[in-house]
Structure 1
Amino acid sequence: MPNAPEESPPLLPVIPEYKPWLDRVIKETAADARAADAAFAAHHGPATGPAGVPETPRGTIADETA
């Protein structure tokens, strides 16, 4: 198995004309996720997992080898 996988190219190239729009979408999506997490925590209490299990950030894929 290789030491480090090769980095994949982006699925969609960033077109310079759309960069400000894309940056705004990423920022607003992150703000929406924070608001949803806060609303969930306010209604249900903070989400806690089993001890010793690291939390996976939203939007990431878990390591299948772990």
Structure 2
Amino acid sequence: MTPGNEASRDVLEAMTAAAPAGRVGRPIDIAHAVRFLSSDEAAYIHGTVLEVDGGIVAARVS
């Protein structure tokens, strides 16, 4: 949720209501992941995709 997509709040809330996080992502959620990946704790992480999406991809039913 950012000022740029505020007009779509209802749509975003409906899309994320069933996700494990149960809410729309916020810029701080992305910032926390970036901070972790740029820290020494993530020094051994290479060549992977970190889905910062509140569990939407993990919970998707095919």
TM-score (structure 2 length as normaliser)? 0.35
Structure having the higher helix fraction is 2
- Indicate the structure whose relative CO is greater, using CA pairs within 8 Å and at least 6 residues apart: 2
